[in-house]
Amino acid sequence: MEISERRQRWKKFNNLTSEKLALAQHVLDEIREGMDVMRALRSHPLDAQHGGGYLTKAALVAAYNQMLASGDVEADRALLEKIRMKPMRTLSGVTTVTVLTKPYPCPGKCIFCPTDVRMPKSYLPDEPGAMRALEHQFDPYEQVHARIRALENLGHPTEKIELLILGGTWSSYRRDYQEWFIKRCFDAMNEIERGALRDHSDKLETVGVNISLAQAVNETAIHRNVGLVIETRPDEINPDELRWLRHLGVTKVQMGAQSFDDHILQINKRGHDVECTRKATAMLRAFGFKIVLHWMPNLLGATPESDREDFAEFWQDFCPDEIKIYPNQLLANAELYEYWRRGEFHPYTTEELVDLIADIKPTIPRYCRVNRVIRDIPGNNVVEGNSRTSLRQDIQAIMKKRGTICECVRCREVRGKTVDSKTLRLDDLTYQAGTAEEHFISFVTLDDGLAGFIRLSLPVKNTTLTGMSDLDNAALIREVHVYGQSLAVGTEQSGAAQHLGLGTRLLEEAENVVRKNGFEKLAVISAIGTRHYYLDRGFERGEYYLVKKIS
């Protein structure tokens, strides 16, 4: 069934006729009174005239929003939290909106990458995010606009948006296309008229793009951008490129390290060596970006034993803030398929893969977050080897049986739990990352839950890697994050970590560290929508960073 057809059927089923709305009101009343959501839904089946079956959570959210808009009910956050679909999507404190760039040639020749003319390099048209992009013909405005509406329909807050731009090597696209793409994403978040400036990249030179104006509007918009992420290759990183990324508003960069073995990189035709990744990571850190590295076990030439040794290299100099583990998957439209046909490549079994990741996951430092342990590639594309996308649950089960734990950021987030600020412990985890001294300053609960943290980087003094005046003799705040269900700007919720003033307290602690280490100023790589947060706390506008003088 085509994507559009499935969505039309879903919309038709969840369309609220007056009868469905009345039924939904009864269900919501029972949930308010304490009844379990699923029990309340099953207690009120639809009659045959309305197709039988039961109302969905989506229908309950639609009914709630409709009654709220008409003034029939007052805002009830507790009720919305109960009926919200897939609440995990916003329990990390922000709402992620993923968009894809148009198909475009990639400079890489990696043998493991799938190739599909309909998609950017390395993506398949039936991956969830890619399907949405293809449906909207890769239009950035339409992708962002539709995703925000869909998340709102599922009951999620959309006031704090982390924009995740995928599409292979961002740096290989023309810069006028990059600027237009991000500007249109901001237009959607700013709710600018959707028909404006819909010209494609071949017309940009005559149309012109004012990204600075779109950014300025977003500082106080309803849907504020609190993080902007792109993905690229280590051999694309240089000072000029990073200065350009700051012009666009980028705050986080994903890079494919893939392996820390030069031989493995070479035979997989990666196109760069380990030293290139090392230099790119150091440069990103010096510019204050948050760093996400991708790692691929089961590349051509690797074994489970060599992958275990390779993974340990992460924490020597590189020390990324976040990682994505993307086990190599054998796909028919990748060059690696021919190696497999000749008997030169053998994919790991699911059991081997689970055992490998269960071994390495407990070794991940407390400052790093594991975003993924498998790509969301539908199993029907996998020729041989693991096709399960639920590896995280399998790995957790094995680790529980072994009695081992992972202490990464993701595994310790408090998410929706109530936090008592009086019992929080302040922790300063200091580690060396290349030439920089990193401080992972965090508030931790009694049961070791992570309520919030700040990433503070102290570069070697009197060294200039950036050429940015904002960063001369400056320590850098690369991230401030407070956990819990993402809340609307200006709202309160009893016991929610996001509204205990933890961010301000973390900034004060960072200033103390900076002062003790003799830095003249503190710079922060602020997202567009968080600028006023820092301006209200004594920072001033620089060229590409917000800066505060330290007495």
Please write the tens of the pLDDT for every residue from 14-49.
456 777 778 877 777 777 777 887 787 787 888 776
Q: pLDDT for 179-226, tens place per residue?
A: 999 999 999 999 875 444 444 434 443 345 789 999 999 999 999 999
Name the residue among 245, 239, 251, 98 with its Cα closest to residue 173. 245
| Cβ atoms < 10 Å from Cβ of 397 | 12
What confidence score (pLDDT) does residue 17 get? 76
What confidence score (pLDDT) does residue 153 get? 79
Can you give the pTM of this predicted structure?
0.85
Regions in the chain scoring below 50 on pLDDT:
1-14, 194-207, 485-495
User: In angstroms, rounded to a whole number, what is the distance separating the alpha carbons of residues 342 and 252?
Assistant: 40
Alpha helices in 116-228 (DSSP H): 128-135, 140-153, 175-190, 204-207, 211-218
- Residues carrying CATH 3.20.20.70, the chain: 88-412
Question: Was domain 88-412 assigned CATH 1.10.8.100?
Answer: no
CB contact set of 392 (below 8 Å; sequence gap of 6+)? 373, 374
User: In angstroms, rounded to a whole number, what is the distance separating the alpha carbons of residues 166 and 101?
Assistant: 6
Name the residue among 166, 203, 218 with its Cα closest to residue 326. 166
> Would you give the DSSP letter of residue 123?
-
What confidence score (pLDDT) does residue 76 get? 73
- Residues carrying CATH 3.40.630.30, the chain: 421-549
Lay out the sheet containing 95-100: strands in order across.
95-100, 160-166, 224-232, 252-258, 290-295, 322-325, 369-372
What confidence score (pLDDT) does residue 487 get? 47
H-run or E-run covering 352: helix 350-360
Architecture of the CATH domain 421-549: 3-Layer(aba) Sandwich (3.40)
Dihedral over alpha carbons 336, 338, 341, 343 (to 10 degrees): -60
H-run or E-run covering 428: strand 425-433
What confidence score (pLDDT) does residue 349 get? 96
Whole-number Cα distances in Å, 391 to 357, 372, 517: 9, 10, 43
In residues, how long is the chain?
Answer: 551
Whole-number Cα distances in Å, 347 to 171, 280, 312, 336: 31, 30, 22, 11
